[in-house]
Structure 1
């Protein structure tokens, strides 16, 4: 059954990702643009001069997958039914009329699917090697869809991920979404850019590609209220998490978050963990180019709520654990290391498919 209106209703079922079991990673221009905020000049230079690929330490892959398995077991112990994607342990080549690449695993399952109301929506990806990533989830989706008895399963129109259709200007550049050439750009937006709060959905938009993808998804839910913000390069769940009605958990980098929030949410409480680490640290030797795809600060708040009282947090996010414990939440922990290298924490690695919640205005 597919049913989820919020990020904080009682969690009944969830998908937990699996990491790619192949060391080689593709890093073409779509990858470089998508993760640009976290790539160093040294990484760019290496990719430019030595080819658009890199390699992850095999032992690290084994450990990551074991910890994702443990994450799944932990959720089961907490009373949540879990589903898993298919394994991907060999290179699968993708060929489209425009490019050739290699399929990624369904690791960060939050990214290229959005679950809202009674729908699973395959969102139009921004990164080429993720184009067919959801095929690794189709067995799960078929089970949940149950011939239409479990909900709706929708797939976005095919998009063209070529340079002339991509908005490659910096994410924080001001854009005019009312007056631009819609024929020039292709739609591209991730499910992790949507923060669901019942009838309200906060969406992080910072490119014309995002906006076109947003327009398509918005058209599917005419009774919902969508609010555009511009708070990060792509995903909102490294910046803002809704713990329960009236309370956000916020990346401590964004002390000005209330200036950026929609008006009706400005009076909600914002909880900021101590920012004990000023700059992200790249762990040496884990990949052949010491790459990092996400910020350590964003990964600390990248948690999943089991309900309005219980949360599941990375065991090394000490600042978040202390804060939420002091605020009266029941904090459950699980190890998930090297989230920065794999571009995803607990929230990214999970996709809730059923919650006991309501489709209402939680601000009233």
Structure 2
């Protein structure tokens, strides 16, 4: 985790790792999440919630033990819907080993209705998977995870119709990317792109496709790629989060983690007025929702959702 979490949070995890998050902040985040559900329903979207799960219990394998789990608040991190398949990610953080349990009932119900269920090989997560040296760049030796076994977070992948774009990161290795490519088969193309992010973990605060041909990008991390040669690219305005706001897992650029409801409508955090203005000028209808307390736990609107059915087909949107 040292490779990815903000330096200001290192002492928090060293001193309080394995204990609950601050109750008041967690309650505020849960209230924001409930309000977001109401907004989605008002937009005509069917919302299905996962099952409750106990994260405070210790668990172990023959190789290691953990004092508890993290949460089940970010389904986009661990599940990926591609065509008629639900891909279950082999996540590399040990504390997330049982996170998918909250979604197993939903996955089984989709399978029983015809979906394909593709769980990746269960990782061992032994010490052979991890490097302790600090990150120094984007070479293979710079990442926190080795190539010992396939691991990836689903949030390092973005789907563009029949194309998937993925970044290497401190939780996603080349072995994992190759597994996804083979598991999905020739119907889908998986392309690896580079980003300017030494703390890379999840691509959603680097690229955000909002509509066919329109791409919101992080101006500090985005590296132009020929795949997007035909796309309009908008650099996101800087986030407006106060400097003293608690951020346990990620940078304030989680402000980019908006949710596209359709080609004209985007959900944006209500305090991000510069981003709202930029997207409005770009032709979008913005739906503002308070979500800063959720920010603290490492995600925003895109991370806390996983769309299983959308209107439209799997077109080809990228240039090859």
Choose the corresponding residue for 2:289, options 334, 339, 346.
334
Q: How does 1:312-331 map to 2 (within 5 A)?
A: 312-331=267-286
3-state SS in 2 of match to 1:313: strand
**How large is the RMSD of aligned CA atoms in angstroms?**
2.6
Q: Structure 2 unaligned segments of length 5 or more: list them.
A: none
> Which residue does the alignment assign to 1:281?
243
1:166 Cα deviation (Å)? 2.2
- Say if 2:284 is the partner of 1:356: no
TM-score by length of 1: 0.78
- Verify the 8 A CA contact 1:185 1:208 in the aligned structure 2: no
Separation (CA, whole Å) in 1 of partners of 2:139 and 2:161: 29
Aligned to 2:109: 143
Partner of 2:257: 302
**Which of 244, 248, 252 matches 1:292?**
248
In structure 1, stretches of 5+ residues that fail to align are 1-30, 177-181, 284-289
| Deviation string, structure 1 residues 282-312 (Cα, Å, up to 9, x no partner) | 32xxxxxx5531111x221101111111111
SS at match of 2:32: helix
CA distance, structure 2, for counterparts of residue 52 and residue 363 of structure 1 = 42
Q: What is the aligned length?
A: 311
Which of 45, 70, 76 does residue 104 from structure 1 map onto?
70
Partner of 1:201: 164
- Per-residue CA distance 1:232-275 (angstroms, 9 max, x = gap): 41111011101112110112324xx3xx3431313411112332
Structure 1 residues 339 and 239, CA gap change in structure 2 (3 angstroms) = farther
Q: 1:192 and 1:281 mapped to 2: Cα distance?
A: 26
Aligned with 1:190 (options 149, 153, 178): 153
Higher RCO (C-alpha under 8 Å, 6+ residues apart): 1
- Is 2:176 the counterpart of 1:220? no
Q: Is the 8 A contact 2:257 2:301 kept in 1?
A: yes
Task: Please say which of residues 229-238 and 321-330 is displaced more in the overlay.
Answer: 229-238
SS of residue in 1 equivalent to 2:86: strand
Greater Cα shift, 189-198 or 163-172: 163-172
Following the alignment from structure 2 to structure 1, what is the Cα–Cα distance between the partners of residues 110 and 306? Answer: 13
Residue of structure 1 equivalent to 2:217: 250
Give the Cα separation in 2 of the matches to 1:61 and 1:207. Answer: 26
Please report how far the alpha carbon of residue 356 of structure 1 lies from its aligned counterpart in structure 2 after TM superposition: 1.6
Is the contact between residue 282 and residue 292 of structure 1 (CA under 8 Å) also seen in structure 2? Answer: no
- Per-residue CA distance 1:189-245 (angstroms, 9 max, x = gap): 111111101122110113695211111111122222221123241111011101112
Match for residue 201 of structure 2 among 212, 229, 234: 234
| Cα displacement (A) at 1:89 | 5.2
Quote the offset at 1:337 in angstroms. Answer: 1.7
Note closer, same or farther for the CA distance 1:359–1:171 as it changes in structure 2 (3 Å cut): farther
Q: Which moved more, 1:167-176 or 1:76-85?
A: 167-176
Partner in structure 2 of residue 26 of structure 1: none
Is the contact made by 2:92 and 2:171 (CA closer than 8 Å) also made in structure 1?
Answer: no
Alpha-carbon separation, structure 2, partners of 1:293 and 1:188: 19
Distance 1:271 1:363 in 2: 17
Alpha-carbon distance, 1:362 to partner:
1.5
1:165-209 deviation digits (Å, cap 9, x = unpaired): 224552733238xxxxx9961222111111101122110113695
TM-score normalised according to structure 2 size: 0.88
CA contact (8 A) 1:194 1:203 kept: yes
Deviations 1:149-173 (A, max 9, x none): 3311111111122332224552733
